[in-house]
Structure 1
Amino acid sequence: MFESKINIALFFGGRSAEHEVSLLSARSIFQALNQDKYNIFPIAISKNGYFRSLAVSKKILFGEDKRVPEVERTNVLPEGILNLLENKIDLVFPVLHGPFGEDGKIQGFLDVLNIKYVGCNLRASAVGMDKAYMKQIFAYNGIPQSKFEILKKMDYSQQKSSNFFNEFAKNLGLPFFIKPANMGSSIGISRVNDLQSFARAVNEAFEFDKKLILESNVEGRELESAVLGSEKDIKVSAAGEIISTHDFYDYQAKYEDQSTELIIPAKLSPAAKAKIRNLSVQAFRAVGAEGISRLDFFVNEEQDQILVNEINTMPGFTKFSMYPLLFEESGISYSELLDNLIELALKKDK
């Protein structure tokens, strides 16, 4: 038994379209945290942005709800939550995926309160979430990636969709993919084959963000690696491969389709393994990440091509998610991984 426990606030839910994934991750994390070592205070955040009380949050976490029930109230922080954060909590584990959680907003809030937290700081979180900035930073650092274009809503109109389509098809080739710049879990992503699918994909993606990423299609395997550590001490997991029956690894394939296959470790040549490891470190450092990140790759060994697709600064954390599974293959169990992330966070300067 430990002499004194570490007090952890577990944030989950949030305003993002990835709200439901956050709840699944939080349930897995709560079950895996060592109750002899940690006092865990679940704090649910509703889809409309309100923090729920501890009592309500516990019921939600231990229940079967797929989302945090929304409430109408004037105060965002219920009585007692702010006092808890400022006076009792040693650390926050913000298991919040997507906007308003993975994009630096909650990190900035905790910085203001001078509270330590698991994962990347405001700056790295914002860059990792905004795929347009991320890709521009990767390009600056010479990190190989697919061809891409950026489309802002203010520049786009339905009347000019054919002009945009022709230009992008020329630059990127067909098919190409469209996705919101600030979103994860493959939400809002569409494959474009012609003008009709282009107009539909743009309109759908603009429902999630005012800025879109358009990427060329890459023939190859989809692989992922997990990263743990600080800038000076970085651990990279074995790489894993995703084999999906869908056109691409979309939300349904990730969380609903049982036919999606994860191969861990992926079958790769020693040279490809080394390159993925090196690129993982490069990308992690390029955005200034710390603590936790997952890197997504496109790999075509026949063409000697390994491209970084994106970095995720708060990846899915269920027991069946790639991030913990990859480190389990590398000899770090789910519970040990959580211990490492908490230890890294506690060592960070406030």
Structure 2
Amino acid sequence: MLNSKIKIALFFGGRSAEHEISLLSARSIYTAFDKKKYDIFPVAIDKKGFFINLEKSKKILLSDKKQVPASANKSILTKELLEFLELKVDLVFPVLHGPFGEDGKIQGFLETLDINYIGCDLSSSAVGMDKAFMKQIFAYNNIPQAEFEIFNKSDLEKKSKKEVFASFSAKFGIPFFVKPANMGSSIGINQVKDFKSFVKALAEGFKYDLKLIIEENIAARELESAVLATNTGIKVSTAGEIISENDFYDYQAKYEDQKTKLIIPAPVSPTTAAKIKEISINAFQAIGALGLSRLDFFVDEEKEVILVNEINTMPGFTKFSMYPLLFKDMGISFSEILDSLVKISLKRDD
């Protein structure tokens, strides 16, 4: 055999507000892949959804650019790139966070072309992305979570903002949270402390989605766990704790604030650690997840509270990201994580 390496197309960029995070994740993943085992072909996608050719894509990935430059293409996917994906690639790794990447759209596109890929499938990606569906499925499966309500933009035609604010503040107390249903990396999330901040939170939330999640404020520690499905079963990492100086673990705290502390492993009792692992597996299976996910928790050991905040079906892989760091603490390297994801993804064809 002239080349027995597995050929992987690494998608990055994309149309969502998490475009920049995708570049950071893809750069880390590209570096971590064992080049003795894999040929990695970066495939950039600009903010309008146009795919960039392979030569330019690699230059972009290996540069320090914060986003994919706009393409001059008139078609989303060029004929040459389509033929490359269909005929010369064993696997696609869609390292795309948020809408048009983590919500099932790119997964459905790849399935239509009969191209294998790493990560959750169309349905589990869609459920994991849409917090309304996710929370309803968690509720059905008795997975503990904060009290919430789904609020659509059309609901403002029935009640005034003051009436809606009064209703939510009576139900959840002050403060409470407003979140776009379909967004990640804490983008568009706001803590509501009064009517003025509620109006601002609605305006920002509706920039990203026509459906919002209104959720009670949980005064608790923020912990995360990582899930990796392998050919021999499901592995759950030790839990890690996030300590942010901001009001909550927002976008700035995740990717820009050097003051945010990541404590791995989190100082919790063996009972709490075991419960987090049990809930992680239950949540992972509840949405039918495949390959990988990260679970976010609210934990108050004194009150014996362990609540799932959300599941992320394509977690970040930046130098600040918990997913690879949690497994590193267990002695599982970044490269070994990628090896496991490749193996279980290729097994789909069996």
TM-score bracket for the superposition, by shorter chain length? over 0.9
User: How many Å apart are 1:155 and its aligned residue?
Assistant: 1.4
Deviation at 1:73, TM superposition (A): 2.9
Amino acid corresponding to residue 148 of structure 1 in structure 2: F
- Tell me the secondary structure at the aligned position of residue 134 of structure 1: helix
Q: SS in structure 2 opposite 1:338?
A: helix
**How many Å separate the matches in 2 of 1:319 and 1:201?**
30
Rounded to whole Å, the distance in 1 between the matches of 2:339 and 2:241 is 26
Q: Distance in 2 between matches of 1:3 and 1:9?
A: 16
1:61-118 alpha-carbon deviations (Å, 9 max, x no partner) = 0111100011243211123110001000000000000000000000000001111111
Deviation (angstroms), 1:344: 1.1
- Percent of aligned pairs sharing the same letter: 63
- Conserved? CA contact 2:254–2:320, under 8 Å: no
Shift of 1:349: 3.3
SS at match of 1:49: coil
Runs of 4+ in 1 over 2 A off after TM superposition: none
In the TM superposition, residue 292 of structure 1 has moved relative to its aligned partner by: 0.6
> 1:206 is paired with a residue of what secondary structure?
helix
Residues in 2 aligned to 1:48 and 1:243: alpha-carbon distance in whole angstroms = 35
Change (3 A) 1:281 1:63: same
Q: C-alpha displacement at 1:309, in angstroms? A: 0.4
Aligned positions of 1:311-350 closer than 5 A: 311-349=311-349
Aligned to 1:13: 13
- Which whole-Å CA distance do the structure 1 matches of 2:210 and 2:2 have between them? 49
1:320 Cα shift?
A: 3.0
The one-letter code matched in structure 1 to 2:213 is: I
Residues 239-270 of structure 1: per-residue CA shift (max 9 Å, x gap): 00000000000000000000000000000001
> Given residue 253 of structure 2, which amino acid in structure 1 is its aligned partner?
A
8 Å CA contact retained: 2:231, 2:344: no
Q: Deviations over 1:162-202 (max 9, x none)?
A: 01011111111110000100000000000001111101100
Aligned partners of 2:158, 2:247: CA distance in 1, in Å?
A: 26
Which residue of 1 is the match for residue 284 of structure 2? Answer: 284
Name the CA distance, whole Å, in 1 between partners of 2:131 and 2:254: 19
Instruction: Give 2:249's aligned residue.
Output: 249
Aligned-partner Cα distance in 2 for 1:158–1:178: 19
Question: Secondary structure at the residue paired with 1:306?
Answer: strand
| Secondary structure in 1 matching 2:281 | helix
CA, structure 1 residues 340+2, in 2 after alignment: closer, same or farther (shift >3 Å)?
farther
The equivalences for 1:1-350 within 5 A come to: 4-157=4-157, 160-229=160-229, 233-349=233-349
Separation in structure 1 between the aligned mates of residue 225 and residue 249 of structure 2, nearest angstrom? 16
Q: Alpha-carbon deviation of 1:301?
A: 0.3
State the TM-score, normalizing by the size of structure 2: 0.97
The 8 Å contact of residues 20 and 67 in structure 2, kept in 1 or not, is answered as: yes
Change (3 A) 1:235 1:143: same
Q: Does the Cα contact within 8 Å between 1:104 and 1:121 map onto a contact in 2?
A: yes
Secondary structure at the aligned position of 1:207 is classed as: helix
Distance (Å, rounded) in 2 between the aligned partners of 1:22 and 1:174: 34
**Equivalent pair of 1:13/1:45 in contact (CA under 8 Å):** yes
TM-fit CA distance, 1:348:
1.3
Structure 2 residue runs of 5 or longer lacking an equivalent are none
Question: Any conservation in 2 of the 1:240–1:326 contact (CA below 8 Å)?
Answer: yes
Deviation of the 1:158 alpha carbon: 10
Q: Which is worse superposed, 114-123 or 67-76?
A: 67-76
CA contact (8 A) 1:319 1:334 kept: no
Structure 1: runs of 5+ lacking an equivalent: none
CA distance in 1: counterparts of 2:218 and 2:349, whole angstroms: 41
Match of 2:246, SS state, is: coil
d(CA) in 2 for partners of 1:203, 1:319: 32
* Code of the aligned partner of 1:195: F
- 2:302, 2:231 → 1: CA distance? 32
2-structure distance, mates of 1:320, 1:210: 30
Mapped to 1, the partners of 2:317 and 2:118 lie a distance apart of: 13
Q: Deviations over 1:137-175 (max 9, x none)?
A: 000000000000111111125970001011111111110
